[in-house]
């Protein structure tokens, strides 16, 4: 993830603070890595990228009486106090002149990078299969409260399937088939007009699935549902790069991109 020179505005305790982030390093944490960024406007402020972790004791199946669906609530921790302390230990060594070399002399501030919007994404091959026993809630949601934990919903065919998947997930507390995607507060791109490239389409799971099933076929007939799903996945990929300002309306850009993509793709082939 590139954080270099990302612009952000953080609202804390009724005052606004402008930050200008630049990635200054990467550290090993548990079985993964965490990127470290520094505020160029206030060099003693450092930010770490989230390290998502499934909270097994708070991940449960239940029947939702409002929609009559079986749901698995995925409770995910974005960071912990242990992660913050690990970042401080990293800074003791890499930024000792600026921050200090021990807890008693530490003068720098460490927090999680300010997230504007977040979602969970299913990257498994069977994600779009009609035989998939679950549907994952993957809509973008704002993170105005800068929460330490966040909950996503998975919809299952029945309670038995839900419990089976829950047990499989909580065994190692990591979501290997899923990816947490997020955008930084105030992140900007030069191009603000809706734009979908060939790469956005060819990198979708559905397109890869089609090419796997028909590797030597130049023209593939798509059912209307598959065509709309291809558009949806392509738009999701493009939106991740097209978010231009805080409170930018995803619904508005999604609608514009849907119209644009439908005008570019033929309904009969990919």
* Best CA proximity match to 204, nearest among 156, 108, 270: 270
Do residues 24 and 37 lie in contact, with contact meaning Cβ atoms separated by under 8 Å?
yes
Residuewise pLDDT in 10s, the chain (270 residues): 333 334 444 444 433 456 788 899 999 998 888 999 999 989 999 999 999 888 888 999 999 888 888 999 999 999 999 999 999 999 999 999 999 888 888 899 999 988 888 888 887 766 666 677 888 888 888 877 678 899 999 999 899 999 998 998 888 666 667 888 888 865 543 334 445 677 777 777 788 888 788 777 777 787 877 777 877 777 776 655 444 333 334 444 444 445 545 555 544 444
Q: Sketch the domain layout of the chain as residue ranges.
A: 188-270
Contacts of 230 (CB under 8 A, 6+ apart): 201, 204, 206, 207, 222, 265, 270
Give the SS3 label for residue 139: coil
């Amino acid at each position: 993830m590139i954080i270099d020179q990302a612009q952000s505005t953080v609202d804390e305790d009724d005052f606004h603070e402008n930050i200008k982030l630049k990635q200054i390093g990467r550290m090993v944490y548990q079985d993964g890595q965490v990127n470290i960024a520094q505020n160029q406007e206030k060099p003693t402020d450092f930010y770490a990228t989230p390290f998502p972790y499934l909270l097994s004791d708070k991940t449960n199946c239940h029947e939702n009486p409002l929609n009559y669906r079986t749901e698995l609530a995925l409770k995910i921790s974005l960071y912990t106090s242990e992660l913050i302390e690990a970042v401080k230990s990293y800074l003791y060594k890499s930024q000792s002149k600026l921050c200090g070399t021990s807890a008693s002399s530490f003068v720098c501030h460490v927090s999680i990078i300010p997230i504007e919007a977040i979602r969970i994404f299913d990257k498994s091959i069977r994600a779009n299969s009609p035989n998939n026993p679950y549907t994952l809630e993957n809509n973008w949601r704002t993170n105005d409260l800068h929460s330490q934990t966040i909950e996503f919903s998975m919809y299952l065919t029945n309670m038995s399937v839900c419990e089976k998947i829950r047990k499989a997930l909580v065994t190692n507390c990591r979501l290997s088939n899923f990816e947490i995607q997020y955008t930084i507060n105030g992140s900007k791109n030069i191009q603000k007009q809706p734009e979908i490239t060939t790469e956005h389409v060819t990198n979708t799971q559905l397109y890869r699935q089609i090419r796997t099933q028909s590797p030597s076929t130049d023209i593939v007939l798509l059912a209307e549902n598959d065509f709309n799903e291809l558009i949806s996945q392509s738009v999701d990929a493009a939106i991740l790069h097209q978010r231009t300002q805080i409170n930018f309306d995803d619904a508005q850009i999604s609608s514009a991109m849907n119209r644009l993509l439908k005008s570019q793709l033929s309904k009969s082939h990919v």
